[in-house]
Structure 1
Amino acid sequence: MNLINEEITHKVFGKGNIVEHEESIITVDFNKEIKKFVYPDAFEKFITLKNENTAKTFKKLFLQRQLKEELLEKQREEEREIQMLEQARIDKMKNHKIHESSQIVFWLDEEEQENVFTEWEVFTGTVQTGKSKGEPNRATRVSLNSAALLTARGSEQPETERQILGVYMVNESYSDNIIKDGMVPSDPEFRIKLTEEEAGKMLFWNYYINKNYPHRTTWNSGKFRYFDNVWTAQILKDIIDIRTDEEEVTYAQNFLEHFCQVNALDIDNIPEVSGALKQE
């Protein structure tokens, strides 16, 4: 923008003419008194242009700059909040004692199989006996590092055919105050739904084993069981191996990395699968 010979008014020095305009400096002649100012900042704070059209152009420029600065400040504030939340999560994890079996595996009924991947939360079932009969089960071992494994089998299928349908990290809000309605919510950042073909390759009893009865493959009652941290890492690793879509593979890898981090597992030394179906 050529500003040479533009008439201006300065709040202190009065009227003058722009006699020189460099990239970031303008020079103004106030009746033989020469002054230099920062361009374009001076037009926002000290100098008024006589030419209305040029003044409108600067007004628009400053408005755009203000909006840009406000957007950048909002982004910086959001980044600060994310960093604070992440630091709070890290601090919380440092003080959290990790149980070796703090994952939860659900037996989904037919209705749940239809809506679980829409709602991305599962009900823990109700207490069957005692003073708390009829109240929601409280999955007390589920915490900051827990994942929820989703399994099912057909009514006519043997228990050995139980398939893994999906997995998600449990939302941190669950561990803050164990939710009284019995719902175990998910973290929207870490959710995996397996295709029908993939689920057929992911049999639950390849991973789960009753250490006292290693060949036993029974799940007679109960809505959920607790599951070893290492077994869940094995499952995530195998999901990566059976997937072919590059984006889905990357997503599963990020899931595994996060899971290993919050469970203090060495991602490079996950042991071989040795569940009940793997026993000779």
Structure 2
Amino acid sequence: MTSLVLNLTSRQKQEISSHYAAYRTTSKNPYIEAFFKLDGASLSIYQTGKAVFQGEKAAFYAQNWGYQEEEQDLGKGGQDCALIGTDEVGNGSYFGGIAVVASFVTPDDHAFLKSLGVDDSKKMTDQKIRQIAPLLKENIPHQALLLSPKKYNEVMEQGYNAVSVKVALHNQVIFLLLQRGVPAEKIVIDAFTSSQNYKKYVAKETNQFPNPVTLEEKAEGKYLAVAVSSIIARAMFLENLETLGQKLGLTLPSGAGSKSDQVASTILAKYGMTGLTETAKLHFANTKKAQKLLQRGTQ
């Protein structure tokens, strides 16, 4: 089904609603402000200010209101099927755990997701992510896992590495989502390693499934399912970072820059290595840098 999206001003919303008043009907979707059944298409105007035209004549109606081909973004290409997409957040941050999410999206979900402005979480503000993540969690079937810093440090000591940990997490969220019976025709992972590496590590995992998996670079910008996962995962990571910080009475920064070194040094001074084990990924270079900062401060 063709789905075309327009961003409307308040004036345009009024003009369109007035123009199609005779075709207005009710919608069960609480996020739709006005819904119209046109000849050969439907029109949904969302509270976010987006107009979504769907159906055979979607382009005909949308072009009357300024639609142009280049406005199409996510929602086209190789995702015109029932698809599971996965992504992870937190791998590059010294503090906080790793959140991995698998989401199941069908073409019927595309209009709703576009209306929310779903995109790669790296292109979105944290405020926007926190705003729409609950709506995605409520409306899109997904499976999420959060590996805490403490557990991360434990599995690293058991022989995992930074890549094999992520392979295990991605495999597990996909496995659990498939166990719920979602009819996935395609599975896409936002690539963090080569397919060869992925297959090598996943072969060691206990939980296996027969569905083929595709690893694609920058998949969060190509597939709505991956974008949904990136948003939910980012929201989980941010919440975990706040929770861990509150326990220590500190604000834990995201990333692995010099600010992380300084905060880690403060944690070492107050709580010792136990504090870092609970909040940070110890194998990062930040740990040694923080220890050096503490030594300088005590000399």
- TM-score under structure 1 length normalisation: 0.25
Higher relative contact order (CA 8 A, sep 6+): 2
- TM-score under structure 2 length normalisation: 0.24
- Which structure: greater helix fraction? 2
Q: Which of the pair has more CA radius of gyration?
A: 1
